[in-house]
């Protein structure tokens, strides 16, 4: 399964056609963006839009994912999500009865066949980007993710769509960075060019124009830790979720828990296989707690990483949420 988006100044946006213009849609208040107005005239508080001409866009395209299994490409029967990486499997889909028989797929309904296979049996992931009008004259772009990077791609792709508000950071030369493990080193990542940094190489193999990175040894770091956000609601503490780069949507936030008993007590709905969620008004949050704790595997070296901060002011809570969203996690 794929998705459709447009590129404007090297950034992805959802979009809508509005006569001969394109309406860019963002969850962030960006320069020249105004509050989004839907077809019924309703004004959104936490959704923003900007009208641009097609000539101002870099591209409009659809992006599809196909998994190579026994020398044949299949789409996934489910959208790419973190459960694929957690279960180390993907449910493949075909509408061809002969193909289904050949590869031992199970019939789900008329002309629909599925099979769950291990990611270890997927030899590559093919990303196909098809230009859409008015860019249909451009070439189709195909990117191959090799087997040893498929799970990492799935995790990062899923993270971009929805994830809990927690993230690993390091402090290098007194500055806070997102980072990725790189063998016995770490790759620190910045959205600004800094001395000694190079353009970040994305998991797709593309060179990022917007992110820069540098590899450093663990010994060069000041600190390394996991930062978690939890909010107090009805005298209980819950995680909160990010949806497509936004936390507060129409003055609501989405709480998260893995505890089945608590989910029933507070009337949560099921989220995937392992969690439960509930939308509440931002105004019903009693406080925000930000904790820093040593990252697993680095506890002995960075014992001083553990801290706890309690924020009760609604204005300060909003500011901390905005600050969290500023640090993007690149693909």
- Asked whether 74 and 93 are in contact (CB, 8 A), the reply is yes
DSSP letter string, 232-243: EETTEEEEEEEE
The tens digit of pLDDT for each residue in 102-136 reads 999 999 998 899 999 999 999 999 999 999 988 99
**Whether residue 1 has pLDDT greater than 60:** no
Mean pLDDT value across residues 71-82: 92
Average pLDDT across the chain, whole number: 90
- What's residue 251's pLDDT? 87
Q: What percent of the chain has pLDDT over 70?
A: 97
- What's residue 223's pLDDT? 87
**Whether residue 298 has pLDDT greater than 60:** yes
The tens digit of pLDDT for each residue in 268-291 reads 998 766 689 999 999 999 999 999
Length of the chain: 331
Residue 314: in which H helix or E strand, if any? helix 314-326
DSSP letter string, 58-73: SEEEEEEEEEEETTEE
| pLDDT grade for 304, boundaries at 50, 70 and 90 | low
- Asked whether 255 and 267 are in contact (CB, 8 A), the reply is no
Mean pLDDT value across residues 290-311: 80
Q: Decide which of 204 and 1 is more confident.
A: 204
Structure tokens at 308: 């706890």
CA distances from 328 to 11, 221, 253, 304, 323 (A): 12, 21, 19, 26, 10
Structure tokens at 279: 């939308």
Mean pLDDT value across residues 50-77: 94
- What's residue 273's pLDDT? 64
* Residue located via tokens 């809990």: 164
Mean pLDDT value across residues 54-71: 94
Structure tokens at 52: 């641009």
Question: Which ranges constitute the DSSP H helices of 75-219?
Answer: 82-87, 97-102, 150-161
The tens digit of pLDDT for each residue in 130-184 reads 999 889 999 999 999 999 999 999 998 888 888 889 999 989 999 999 999 877 7
Helix (H, G, I), strand (E, B) or coil at 158: helix
| pLDDT grade for 82, boundaries at 50, 70 and 90 | confident
| Spatial separation of the C-alpha atoms in residues 215 and 188, rounded to whole Å | 6
CA distances from 241 to 123, 245, 252, 255, 283 (A): 32, 10, 11, 6, 16
- What's residue 274's pLDDT? 67
Structure tokens at 71: 């020398």
CA neighbor of 53 nearest in space, from 31, 14, 24? 24
pTM (predicted TM-score): 0.80
Q: 3-state SS of 213-276?
A: EEEEEHHHCCEEEEEEEEEEECCEEEEEEEECCECCECCEEEEEECCHHHHHHCCCEEECCCEE
Q: Give the rounded distance of the alpha carbon of 126 from its chain centre.
A: 19
DSSP letter string, 91-121: EEEE--HHHHHHTTPEEEETTEEEEEEEGGG
What secondary structure letter does DSSP report for 226?
A: E
């Amino acid at each position: 399964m794929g998705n459709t988006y447009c590129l404007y100044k090297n950034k992805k946006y959802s979009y809508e056609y509005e006569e001969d213009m394109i309406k860019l849609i963002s969850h962030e208040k960006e320069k020249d963006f105004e509050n989004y107005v839907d077809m019924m005239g309703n004004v959104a508080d936490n959704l923003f839009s900007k009208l641009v001409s097609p000539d101002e866009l870099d591209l409009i395209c659809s992006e599809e994912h196909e998994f190579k299994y026994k020398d044949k490409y299949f789409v996934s029967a489910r959208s790419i999500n973190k459960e694929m990486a957690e279960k180390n499997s993907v449910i493949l889909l075909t509408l061809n009865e002969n193909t289904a028989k050949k590869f031992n797929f199970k019939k789900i309904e008329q002309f629909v066949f599925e099979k769950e296979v291990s990611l270890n049996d997927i030899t590559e992931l093919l990303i196909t980007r098809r230009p859409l009008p008015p860019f249909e004259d451009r070439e189709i772009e195909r990117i191959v993710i090799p087997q040893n990077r498929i799970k990492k791609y799935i995790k990062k792709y899923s993270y971009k769509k929805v994830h809990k508000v927690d993230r690993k950071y390091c402090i290098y030369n007194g500055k806070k960075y997102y980072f990725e493990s790189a063998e016995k080193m770490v790759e620190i990542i910045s959205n600004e060019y800094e001395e000694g940094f190079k353009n970040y190489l994305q998991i797709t193999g593309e060179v990022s124009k917007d992110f820069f990175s540098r590899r450093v040894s663990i010994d060069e770091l000041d600190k390394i830790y996991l930062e978690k956000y939890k909010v107090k609601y009805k005298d209980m503490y819950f995680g909160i979720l990010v949806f497509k780069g936004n936390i507060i949507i129409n003055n609501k936030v989405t709480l998260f828990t893995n505890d089945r008993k608590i989910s029933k007590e507070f009337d949560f709905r099921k989220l995937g296989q392992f969690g439960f969620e509930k939308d509440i008004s931002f105004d019903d949050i009693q406080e925000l707690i930000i904790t820093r704790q040593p990252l697993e595997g680095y506890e002995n070296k960075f014992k001083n990483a553990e801290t706890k901060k309690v924020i009760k002011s609604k204005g300060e809570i909003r500011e901390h949420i905005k600050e969290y969203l500023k640090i993007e996690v690149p693909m």
